[in-house]
Structure formats: structure tokens, C-alpha cells
Structure 1
């Protein structure tokens, strides 16, 4: 009950209005993650209450910046942020990529158990992945520095699409390395409820 209250308060602060069943699905995801984490070490965060701001609210805080209704999450890990975005936005189509087999096994199991019909997980290196149709938004939370992210994932975006990178403190050095980028770049601060640490979102595009 306490976890449900903390999640609800965090969502209200974003603000993000999700149906009760969706909120339950988010909590079920955390419980499943905690179970698998005991064996597979999917995340360094062990406490469920700590996962709410650091995983759930952090992932959902970028919702206003996601373009279109198709996205690919590069280096999704345990499904962050892509799987949580898929839960929150069932009208989207979300593809989750990671080269770590054990993490993709967890994501596939979560998709199955939580009945997330708009998400798919693939174990592959992004450089080797060439989908027949690109995505509106290419997103990453902890994949690589901005230059590497742009150079290895730009082929996944459709013309007019965006690359979106989640960062902590303002990535001044990484942004300076992208001075000659052939697309527009914006770095915006975001506020994550219950999380005092700095967070930023970097938008590159339109492609």
C-alpha cells in the first residue's frame, strides 16, 4: 500500500494521470524486477521504494519529449525506460534492444507476465540492427556518450524523427563534442519527483 501511495504521489507531481490498472502494472513490474534481481543482478538498486523515483518516475518524466508513437529503446537493460513507457502508453509501439542476453530474457518475461502487448524485445547490438521501417523516437537511458549514441543509432530514426538521450548532470563535454552535428540539439533540465539529483534530456533532431 505504501509503494502504491508513493507511486501515485509521484505521478501526480509529474503530472501524469494513469489508470489504476496501469499503476498496478508498474508496481508488478518492480516486484518482478526485484525477484529477478536476486539472481541476475539487473540493477544496483535493491529497494522497491527507491526504484519508484529512480526507475519509474525517472523513465516517465521524459514522456512530454517523446515524438510520435513508435520508439526504440537502445541499451534498454531491464526495460528502462522503454518498457515503462510502453506500459504508460499502450497506444505506442515500443521495441527494446540490448546485447545482454540475461537482461533481454527478463524483459521478455516481463512482457509476457504483465501482458504488455505493445512491446517487443530483441537481443542484438544496435550496430547490427537494421529494421525495415524506422522509428519516430530513438531513446537511450544509459547506453553511451552522446557522440557514440548519435553515430550508432541515427540509422534507426525516420526522416523527421528524433534521438533522445537521458542524462544526469548537464553533459557539457559531450555536447561540446557535437558542435558540428548536422541536426539541431537541445538539452533541457527535467524534474523527477522524489529525486533530488539533476536530470536532463538531450534531443537531437529532426533527423
Structure 2
């Protein structure tokens, strides 16, 4: 998901480009994404061009789209396991659209309640050739009858205890969650311990590096006991 709701604003075209991002064109980034780089690049370029205009990212983030959003989202991949991926509160498509771009053989469902954001997700998937992204409008609580997940992802949506209450009913019998979190992830797990216990889940925080020189991301996995 993007960070919190932002008003749409005008930004000069010369600023709405990845050219202002120090990681753009870096060979390490292209190597990290490998064969999936063209799809990821297309999404990153579209996010840089349209993200601020549509209130998806802040103007100060245009100089760090790769680090703050794309690589941060990509860090969740080693924790996804097998099966259908459901990105809850997908927002700007983070991490869901990045995950779908990197795993074209997997079905990735992007669940988002806001109409204008679902419109963005449909457009981004089409324009970037990310055919395996399926956009569903609604909150996690609203789609329990139609969506089942082998793994749930979420970024900047809510605290762990709230995510478990909202999303655990979507999980398959062997399902798990892989959540992008900040440095206080372990404290969040501790605060959510009773909710996790009731849901039959156990939490663990992992350091998830991507490209050398970029701070690692923290991923919290919630697995069946």
C-alpha cells in the first residue's frame, strides 16, 4: 500500500521521472530483478509519473522511488511460499503490483476498497503488462466469501493485531501472512500475541536485504501453529 491518503497535487513533469532517483539505471538494481526488470521498471516509471498526481505517494518520495517503494516491496518475495497471493489494502500497488511483476506465473489478487485506487491498479496492470494481477474492490472483511489466500501481504495498512482480525478469515488451512513492517516489528508482534494465539498463528520478524547499500526491509511472517 502507499502511505496514508494524500490530496492530489500538481507536480512539474520534469520532476515526475525516475531520472531524479540515484538508484535509477544502477546495474545492481537491474541484476537484482533479472528477467523481471522490464515489468518492474515499467511500473516504477508509471508510479513516478502518476503517483503524486493521484495522491499515491508524496512529492519528496520521487527521489527514492526505487529504495522506498520498489525494492522495499520486492523484499517480501523470499517469504511468500506457494499458492495464491493476496495483497490487502494494495493502494498504489505496493507490494502487490511489484510482487505480480516479479512472479508472472503466480496469481496475485490486489484487494483495495477505494474506487480511484482500484482504477489506478487496473490501469497500471494493463499499461505495464502485469497480466497476473487481479484487482478486487473491497475491504478484507468484505471479500471473505470470494477470496482465499495461501499467503497475504500488506504494507502500511494497519497494526499486526488489526490485520490478523481482518485477514485471518481469508487464509487457507495452511495459509500464512508476510507483512512489510518497520523497525518496531518485534514490539508489534509482542503487542499482538493474544490475537495471534486466538488465531492459531505465530509471528517472527526477519531482516530482508535487497541491493547492497540499501537498508534491509523488515518482514513479519505469521504462520500456522
Same topology, TM > 0.5: yes
Look up the match of 1:10.
Answer: 29
Runs of 4+ in 1 over 6 A off after TM superposition: none
Look up the match of 1:98.
Answer: 112
Shift of 1:128: 0.9
Find the aligned partners of 2:187 and 2:204 in 1 and give their Cα distance. 14
- Number of matched pairs: 200
Q: Provide closer, same or farther for how the CA distance between residues 140 and 205 of structure 1 changes in structure 2, counting only shifts above 3 A.
A: same
Shift of 1:178: 2.4
- 8 Å contact kept, 2:33–2:102: no
Which secondary structure state, in structure 1, belongs to the residue aligned with residue 178 of structure 2? strand
More displaced stretch, 176-185 vs 98-107: 176-185
- 8 Å contact kept, 1:95–1:121: yes
Which secondary structure state, in structure 2, belongs to the residue aligned with residue 18 of structure 1? helix
Q: Provide closer, same or farther for how the CA distance between residues 204 and 47 of structure 1 changes in structure 2, counting only shifts above 3 A.
A: closer
Shift of 1:109: 0.2
Map 1:42-191 onto structure 2 (within 5 A).
Answer: 42-44=56-58, 48-132=62-146, 134-180=148-194, 181=197, 182-191=200-209
Q: Provide closer, same or farther for how the CA distance between residues 177 and 148 of structure 1 changes in structure 2, counting only shifts above 3 A.
A: same
Find the aligned partners of 1:157 and 1:45 in 2 and give their Cα distance. 36
Look up the match of 2:10.
Answer: none
Shift of 1:154: 0.5
Unaligned runs of 5+ in 1: none
- Spell out, residue by residue over 1:61-117, the C-alpha distance to the aligned partner (whole angstroms, 9 max, x if none): 111101213100001111000111111110110000111222211111011111211
Which secondary structure state, in structure 2, belongs to the residue aligned with residue 67 of structure 1? coil
Query: In structure 1, which of residues 195, 199, 206 is the aligned counterpart of residue 217 of structure 2?
Result: 199
Which secondary structure state, in structure 1, belongs to the residue aligned with residue 180 of structure 2? strand
Shift of 1:46: 5.0
Cα RMSD (Å) of the superposition? 2.2
Which secondary structure state, in structure 1, belongs to the residue aligned with residue 135 of structure 2? strand
Q: TM-score of the superposition, structure 1-length normalised?
A: 0.86
Shift of 1:166: 0.8
